[in-house]
Amino acid sequence: ELPNVAFLGLGHMGGPMAANLAKAGYAVTGYDPVPAAQEEATKNGITVVGSAVEAVPAADVVITMLPNGKLVLDLYDEILGAAKPNTLFVDSSTIDVADARDAAGRAQAAGHRAVDAPVSGGVAGAAAGTLAFMVGGSEEDFAAAQPLLDVMGRKVVHCGGSGNGQAAKICNNMILGVSMIAISEAFVLGEKLGLDNQALFDVASNASGQCWALTSNCPVPGPVPTTPANNDYQPGFAAALMDKDLGLASNAVRSNGVEAELGLRAAELYHRFNTGGGGGLDFSAIINDIRDRSNA
Ligand code: NAD
């Protein structure tokens, strides 16, 4: 007997994730305040109800996929009392580590179980059921969540206790933001020095500069034909989302007194790029900002 699922937040990510659970045979009750999201979910076999509170009483598992931590905490305060005892709360939103621990604590204090389970893989991964999940919570709660996460994703990693899924996500994305900027700066410097992009790629991809930002998401067109750089920087992973994730990383860096000077600087550069109009482009488009500023 599959558990009953309540899915709250049926947006770009939550919509297709909930649809995959319904397709796999789970009874999914959902809520999202946006009418278009409600219609799409109904088409995909989800029973859409008129409020979050109505969605939870019959649920064994409550999954949330919301824009930010304040919304998650507010929603938990609204629904924890309406859920039956020992309901498993799974938050897949990307939020502050501190907010994730707070949310899990509130769920547990109300007699429930809770894990944080943020994702990477984007809208395409959500639709294809190939997301990567990074999970924070107890062994037992992780084990209870895993079968559902396996339906929505391809790779599920238990990262430790509450909040550690969010911690793993922001640490990974801090590496990614810093490394994309480093690769982009190197290409622009190479261009100024008269070095072909392809020549630098051929050297660095076979040498100690090798990294994912170079060989899988190369920010210049040419060397890796599948990257967003070859398609007018259509995402991919949008710079606006990198800005958000580096903001969360910066909060954690500051509140834990970590000397992450490059992580904080990468957050500033992506914030400037995002608010300057680049937010809808792939995050590798920051190379054009670096090149423009270098030619100013
Ligand atoms: P989205 O804005 O498309 O979806 C969020 C949905 O939550 C919206 O439809 C909104 O109406 C709904 N919502 C807001 N308050 C609600 C409430 N109280 N009850 C029910 N629904 C409510 O955002 P998204 O792109 O789906 O992203 C969701 C989360 O996933 C974010 O935390 C984001 O950082 C993370 N994420 C996104 C991507 C991506 O590529 N889009 C990738 C990885 C992680």
DSSP states of 10-58 as a string? -STTHHHHHHHHHHTT--EEEE-S-HHHHHHHHHTT-EE-SSHHHHSTT
Which residues neighbour 293 within 8 Å (Cβ) at sequence distance 6 or greater? none
pLDDT score recorded for residue 203: 98
Amino acid, single-letter form, for residue 154: R
Same domain, 72 and 155: yes
Q: Which domain holds residue 29?
A: 5-161
Last residue of a domain, which of 106, 139, 161?
Answer: 161
Asked if residue 71 has its Cβ within 6 Å of ligand 1, the reply is yes
Q: Which residues are catalytic?
A: 169
- 50 CB-contact burial (10 Å; exposed 0-12 / middle 13-18 / buried 19+): exposed
pLDDT score recorded for residue 283: 98
Separation of 284 CA from ligand 1 center, angstroms?
Answer: 23
Instruction: Give the angle 215-268-213 at the CA atoms, nearest 5°.
Output: 5
Same domain, 82 and 180: no
Contact assessment for residue 185 and residue 213, using Cβ atoms and an 8 Å cutoff: no
Phi, psi (degrees; rounded to nearest 5) at 132? -105, 130
Separation of 13 CA from ligand 1 center, angstroms?
Answer: 6
pLDDT score recorded for residue 31: 98
Distances (CA, A) of 224 to 39, 92, 217, 242, 280: 39, 31, 8, 21, 21
pLDDT score recorded for residue 231: 97
Q: pLDDT by residue for the chain (296 residues), tens digit each?
A: 899 999 999 999 999 999 999 999 999 999 999 999 999 999 999 999 999 999 999 999 999 999 999 999 999 999 999 999 999 999 999 999 999 999 999 999 999 999 999 999 999 999 999 999 999 999 999 999 999 999 999 999 999 999 999 999 999 999 999 999 999 999 999 999 999 999 999 999 999 999 999 999 999 999 999 999 999 999 999 999 999 999 999 999 999 999 999 999 999 999 999 999 999 999 999 999 999 999 97
Asked if residue 81 has its Cβ within 6 Å of ligand 1, the reply is no
Take atom 8 of ligand 1 and give the residue whose Cα is closest: 11
pTM, entire model: 0.96
* CATH code, 90: 3.40.50.720
d(CA 230, CA 167): 32
d(CA 215, CA 79): 45
Instruction: Tell me how far the alpha carbon of residue 161 is from its chain's centroid.
Output: 19
Q: If we measure between CA atoms, which residue out of 25, 19, 20, 23 comes closest to residue 4?
A: 25
What letter does residue 216 receive in the DSSP assignment? T
Same domain, 49 and 140: yes
pLDDT score recorded for residue 66: 98
Same domain, 14 and 144: yes
* CATH code, 278: 1.10.1040.10
Last residue of a domain, which of 161, 192, 216?
Answer: 161
Instruction: Spell out the long-range contacts of 223-229 with Cβ–Cβ below 8 A and sequence spacing 24 or more.
Output: 223/197, 223/198, 227/284, 228/281, 228/282, 228/284, 228/285, 229/282, 229/284, 229/285, 229/287
Separation of 188 CA from ligand 1 center, angstroms?
Answer: 35
Q: Which residues pair with 63 in a beta bridge?
A: 7, 90
DSSP three-state, residue 231: helix
What is the end-to-end Cα distance of the chain in Å, rounded? Answer: 64
> How many domains does one find in the chain?
2
ipTM of this model?
0.99
Same domain, 27 and 151: yes
Last residue of a domain, which of 161, 185, 216?
Answer: 161
Contact assessment for residue 174 and residue 197, using Cβ atoms and an 8 Å cutoff: no
When computed from its CA atoms, the radius of gyration of the chain, rounded to whole angstroms, is 21
- Which atom of ligand 1 has the smallest separation from the CA of 74? 18
d(CA 143, CA 90): 12
Asked if residue 65 has its Cβ within 6 Å of ligand 1, the reply is yes
Contact assessment for residue 145 and residue 113, using Cβ atoms and an 8 Å cutoff: no
Mutate to test the pocket of ligand 1, among 7, 8, 10, 13 (most ligand atoms within 8 A of CB): 13
